[in-house]
Structure 1
Amino acid sequence: MATVSLPEARRTIVAVGRWLDSKGWAPATAGNYSMRLDDGSVAITVSGRHKGRLGEEDVMRVDMTGASLDGKKPSAETALHMAIYRDFPEAGAVLHSHSPQAVGLSRAFPEAIGWTLAQHEMLKVYPGIATHDLSRTLPIVDNSQDMAVIDAAMAPRLLDADALPAYLIRGHGLYGWGADMAEAERVIEATEWLIAAELAEIGFRNGSKA
């Protein structure tokens, strides 16, 4: 786990917001990003800001319950970030992206509770994986406006020894995390790429090149 100062977290989160927006994974005001701070609190994006146009003032502090420490308003999904920090003490950064591919995959298979990723070289991006010759399941949980419902559905599955540091909320988007922001970025980018590759394979199998 890596911790950083608030000024460093603000600069890093502003930069990652621009990067995710450039990928098309942060439409409108969607998404939220956080980092664990060296004083035991968490820096997280303020609610309702466009992530491609963040300023450092759009990154606030919350305690480990998700309560604001500076009077600014955090996203309702702050609770999901806190759940990851609670369950994974090694997590230093959490990212939430909203690609059309990730949302589309979760909606196209409404009964799926996970998506198996097998024999992909890209799997080696994830921490602790050194070969393509295996499979891992990306969990999918139904969306809810009650973050406790999402947490209760997802937490037991993420604690499995073979769980990826990522999951999908159906019709909503992707969560991924890492020991630091660089690792969280790799997890998000690898997972988004794998989802796009899986959708391309489905398209080719069905006779479409789209």
Structure 2
Amino acid sequence: MHHASQHVQQLNPYAIALCATARWIASRHWVPATGGNFSIRDGEHNALVTASGKDKGELSPHDLLPVSWVDGHITCPGTPSAETALHARIYQLDPAVKAVLHTHSVQATVFSRIITTDQYIFSGYEMQKAIRGQQSHEQNCPITLFANTQDIPALAELVQQQWPQVQKASALLVRGHGLYVWGQSLEEAKRHLEGWEFLIHCELERIRLTGDL
């Protein structure tokens, strides 16, 4: 039975697509040392999530674990990524979300440590239009920052409390840790990831050159 279900998962188009995206993200050096985690919705209350401790540049479908949630209770047959509870909460908060990507790039991690406010507003960048809901470089494009913690369910609660603001960015930053993004398709999540990584890199360089926070 185990082999049969594993075979089905290897043929799952969601699993294949997520592994291809993971390889692309790894090629950008955004998930070093088995860091980061990715998931893709596989049903109303189900997702496929990367297993803990896997090199994201070498993922195959059998490295993805099925996770389900009902009334806040998460079930999984293996050891999913530690951040699975946050992925599940994002899916529950917005039924339209189809994929969640979490990365550990140098620029996002450094940026998250030098910004002391709980929210940072980007403006003036054409790339803001890569983010859902952003129509112009003249708009304010805020991202919310959270303190790092090993208590992921507690972090998920904080994200839920601030969800109306967090949702506008389709992203959030965890200090000293990394970036989470999501989208209404895997393609949109990937676009949000690349857009936010670009924006953060640009702003970090602007701060470095001007000294102006």
Is TM (by shorter chain) over 0.5? yes
Question: SS in structure 1 opposite 2:62?
Answer: helix
1:100 counterpart (103, 106, 111): 106
Q: Is the 8 A contact 2:27 2:57 kept in 1?
A: yes
Separation in 2 of the partners of 1:133 and 1:121?
Answer: 9
Could you tell me how far apart the structure 1 residues matched to 2:132 and 2:142 are?
Answer: 15
Partner in structure 1 of residue 31 of structure 2? 26
SS of 1:112 mapped into structure 2: coil
Is 1:74 paired with 2:94?
no
Q: For 2:196 and 2:153, locate their aligned partners in 1 and report how far apart those are by CA, in whole Å.
A: 24
Unaligned runs of at least 5 residues, structure 2 = 1-7
Determine the C-alpha separation between the residues in 2 that align with 1:28 and 1:167: 21
Query: 1:159 aligns to what SS in structure 2?
Result: helix
Show structure 1 runs of 5+ residues with no match: none
Q: Does 1:158 align with 2:163?
A: yes
Q: How does 1:1-210 map to 2 (within 5 A)?
A: 6=9, 7-38=12-43, 40-64=45-69, 65-68=73-76, 71-109=77-115, 111-160=116-165, 163-206=168-211
Cα-Cα RMSD: 1.8
Greater fraction helix = 2
TM-score where L is the length of structure 1 = 0.89
Q: Using the TM superposition, give the Cα deviation of residue 40 of structure 1 relative to its aligned residue in structure 2, in angstroms.
A: 4.0
Tell me the distance in 2 between the aligned counterparts of 1:162 and 1:54: 28
Change in Cα spacing, 1:38 to 1:157, as seen in structure 2 (3 Å) is: closer
State the aligned residue count.
200
Q: Percent identity?
A: 34
Shift >4 Å, 4+ stretches: none
Deviations 1:12-48 (A, max 9, x none): 1111111111111010111111111147411111111
Q: Residue 87 of structure 1 aligns to which amino acid in structure 2?
A: L
CA distance in 1, matches of 2:161, 2:129: 24
Asked if 2 retains the 8 angstrom alpha-carbon contact of 1:13 and 1:59, the reply is no
Q: What is the alpha-carbon distance in structure 2 between the residues aligned to residue 161 and residue 50 of structure 1?
A: 29
Aligned partners of 1:162 and 1:177: how far apart in 2? 9
Report the TM-score, using the length of structure 2 for normalisation: 0.88
Compute the displacement of 1:200 (Å): 1.0
Aligned-partner SS, 2:86 = helix
